[in-house]
Chains A and B, each alone.
Chain A
Amino acid sequence: MLFLGAAEQGLIYGLMALGVYLSFRILSFPDLSVDGTFPLGAAVAGILILRGVNPFWAALAGGGAGLLAGALTGVLATRLRIPGLLAGVLTMIMLYSLNLRIMGRPNLSLLGKPSVLSGLAQALSLPRGYGNLVASGIFCLTAAVLLLLFLHTELGAAMRASGQNPTLVRTLGTNPANLQILGLALSNGLVALSGGLVAQYAGFADVGMGVGTIVAGLASVIVGELLLRPRSLLGAICAVIVGSVVYRLAISVALRYGAALGFTASDLRLVTALVVLGALAAPALRAALKGEGT
């Protein structure tokens, strides 16, 4: 399959997209710290794998580090009353230095080192060439199912309510600030786990590999919504994964055929940004076209 790689990437990065969906759509919190938590997961997983830790636990540890970082952003935003965007940026900046410290250098090579993806593929005796795909799929779908189940619990439902109507949640006796902190922790846990898996997939962890994570995440979420127009939570979560795969497919298509049309990979980033911009501005544009006020 020509676009096998894109599907694999779509699934592994799908975990990150689920995290962005949780913060951006459920919590209504634009969380920029993901640009820092993604490489945090890669850094922690990478350094642990080099120390001989089982790659599965290494990846989970990366996710755990992301949980803490997300909680930090949450605390900054709620207890210290720092505006959400700024709180995320602060965490991201702090993580840049922290990631360098964790790795000891800007780049860690994991080439030839054990990877949970190939390990899982082996354990399941998967046919060569499809190992990564199925392994990524298992991780992504497990995370998606767990997230869906969580959002249907009392706690998850309160979190969903809080993202849209914190006053209601307060009236029901729960502190929306705590829900936001928990939500951001979970969101960044997913993103960091994605980073830990990508590091194993790509064969290296680099301090710069988080740049553009939020854009890719938003693009995945929005493309998925545009394609599937989900009306239920289940639909929304499926849409996120579909969006992530489609996004990576679009990159591959642009790489393969774009040159003929004059596109380069750099143009793709512009196009992606425009898609995200368009989708975000669509409600306002629609209203303006109809002649309504804002």
Chain B
Amino acid sequence: MKHLTEYRDGETARRLAGEIARITTRPWAIMEVCGGQTHSIIRNGIDQVLPPQVEMIHGPGCPVCVTPLETIDKALAIASQPGVIFCSFGDMLRVPGSKDDLFRVKSAGGDVRVVYSPLDALEIARQNPARQVVFLAIGFETTAPANAMAVKLAKDQGLANFSALVSHVLVPPAIEAIMNSPDNRVQAFLAAGHVCTVTGYADYPALCERYHIPIVVTGFEPLDLLEGIRRAVLQLENGEAYVENAYPRVVNERGNVAAQAMIAEVFEVTDRAWRGIGVIPHSGWRLSAAYRDFDAETRFGVGEIRACESKLCRAGDVLRGAIKPNQCAAFGKECTPRHPLGATMVSSEGACAAYFNYGRFVQLDLPHELAGQEVK
């Protein structure tokens, strides 16, 4: 933890914020791609210490938020089947599908279990040979290696009762989709540090060049984020556009080569629908032909399920950075973490939930007497 507290030091943070204010001469819009970064920005109030010209746009980087409604409906259909043990990361349980969420399936008798790792699901499959064990394999490049490893081990060990419902998504195609959208306002990206741990950042120089945007590989602690923002602003002010690594203690250019090999063996690139955004070409992974037998969609015959998203919910506009969460008419009214219309309100990494939980009023009308209140 020592290495973490070092990156949370208040005084250094204020100094960095001051430095950003000093170098900023005009308005800039910077998108943090990763939901973990959004969570940290709002939880630590980093947007409050930035100069008003620097606007943070919260990107589509929460894996829970962008998992398509169809995948949730498929998960619910599978989890409701008798004899199935359905395993998921915790924050997927409250994500609303078209009608239900996994919590309701559980309360109606479904065997839904929270796991911290896909390898836990594998262990459950081993201990329950007479039952079908399904793992909901979602996430960005970050969770993919462990998910791939679980499927590979299941095949190697002949665990025929294990399967995965796969809905993986990829960062670089999402960056392209955002840059290609007609109302794009993003001028620079903070690339997600943990994704780059796996993938490295060799794919990014081409994007910088094609769209003339700075991309700064950035971590998650307050000082990491402020340093990433500082470097992005510096490039913008100087009219530069290249890849910078502001998270070198964790990320190198090539990434984790062993993890990449594992992914390449188990997954193949596919078009993927993103909740609230639509289909982005080549933006996902599915099981490769050699591992198709472990695909829960086929095994449980849920491949044909289709779904329509709420018309009130503007999660798509939030995820594209077109509006802030509190600019959505349903925010805090029809849509709250208790009754979310879209997944951005569900996951604690979701931009809407982060605004609601940590920044709802502070953003809008924090009275000065409170802001100035010193605790004795």
The answer to whether A binds B is no
Question: Which of A's residues lie within 8 Å of B, judged by CB?
Answer: none
**Partner-A contacts on B (CB < 8 A):** none
